Amino acid sequence: MKKADTNDLKVFFDEKVNKYNHPSFIQDDPVCIPHYFSKKQDIEIAGLFAAVFAWGNRTTIINKSKELIQLMDNTPYEFCKNHTAGDLKKLEGFKHRTFNATDLLYFIEFLKHHYTKYPSLESAFLQNACFLNGKKQVDMSKKEHFIEFSLIHFHNYFFSLEDIPARTKKHIATPFKGSTCKRLNMYLRWMVRKDKKGVDFGIWNQIKPSDLICPIDLHVARVAKRFGLLERKQIDWQAAVELTDYLRTLDPKDPVKYDFALFGLGVIEKF
């Protein structure tokens, strides 16, 4: 499809953003899971699991996320940091699609390891080459490179513990293998974007909204191609970058707000 006039597209997409970036969106979306909490670390952990589980039916994703949070006594941060062997025993029957108890136990081991050293999960995405004592040391020439290397760093760091179950690696994507990293990019949107709409949290400050990459899946890609925003046939990391580059022409400071429009059109309106 021929690309529409940028001004017309911006008006149309802004209307859709205003429609879906609204508290009414929360209850039927996995983002509702971290919204049960007010403590920063609980939000981070609940959000990570909800994002990792986010493929397939949204109702099932929400229900399985709630089930896990209940198994963690509704205090995910406290559970991850101070669980006992008996606490972990309760998790042995947990399963969501291909994510099972083996994967879950490694996730909890990693989270305990990380939070023993750092107060926030944001630092897990800040690659050592770019940050020192919380200050940016390397100026990336392109914004997509910043998130690309951040996600690669997170993947490598996440799987840096001993005795990693081989099966668990499929649950944390990386641009290094060409993945769109849709679920992690969605998670970053939740944690980083700052507005007063009530959906995204904006509790992280060292990653900027302008750095983010738009989550992309088959639904979002279909809508993007119908509007002529995406030429790449393969739905991979480069497709996510290409789409985000266009969205930056609509709003360079907050391009990923248009995820609401693309998702709403593709999944809710079946555009």
How far is residue 236 from each of residues 35, 192, 221, 232, 254, measured CA to CA in Å? Answer: 30, 22, 10, 9, 22
Residue 133 resides in a domain: no
How much is the pTM? 0.93
* Among the listed residues 151, 259, 255, 152, the one whose alpha carbon sits nearest the alpha carbon of residue 211: 255
pLDDT band of 44, cuts 50, 70, 90: very high
Lowest mean pLDDT: which of 19-33, 60-74, 125-139, 155-169? 125-139
* Number of residues assigned to the chain: 271
pLDDT digits (tens, 9 = 90+) for 128-178: 544 434 444 444 445 558 899 999 999 999 999 999 999 999 999 999 999
- Sign of the dihedral through C-alpha 215, 221, 227, 228: positive
User: What is the rounded CA–CA span in Å between residue 98 and residue 77?
Assistant: 24
Q: Report the 10 Å Cβ neighbour count for 198.
A: 13
Residue 132 resides in a domain: no
pLDDT exceeding 90 applies to what percent of the chain? 88
Residue 90 resides in a domain: yes
Residue 101 resides in a domain: yes
Distance from the Cα of residue 229 to its chain's centroid: 22
Residue 245 resides in a domain: yes
Residue 145 resides in a domain: no
Residue 164 resides in a domain: yes
* Count of domains forming the chain: 1
Residue 226 resides in a domain: yes
pLDDT digits (tens, 9 = 90+) for 226-253: 999 999 999 999 999 999 999 999 999 9
Structural domain range at position 57: 6-124+152-268
CB 159 within 8 A of CB 222: no
Q: Report the 10 Å Cβ neighbour count for 119.
A: 10
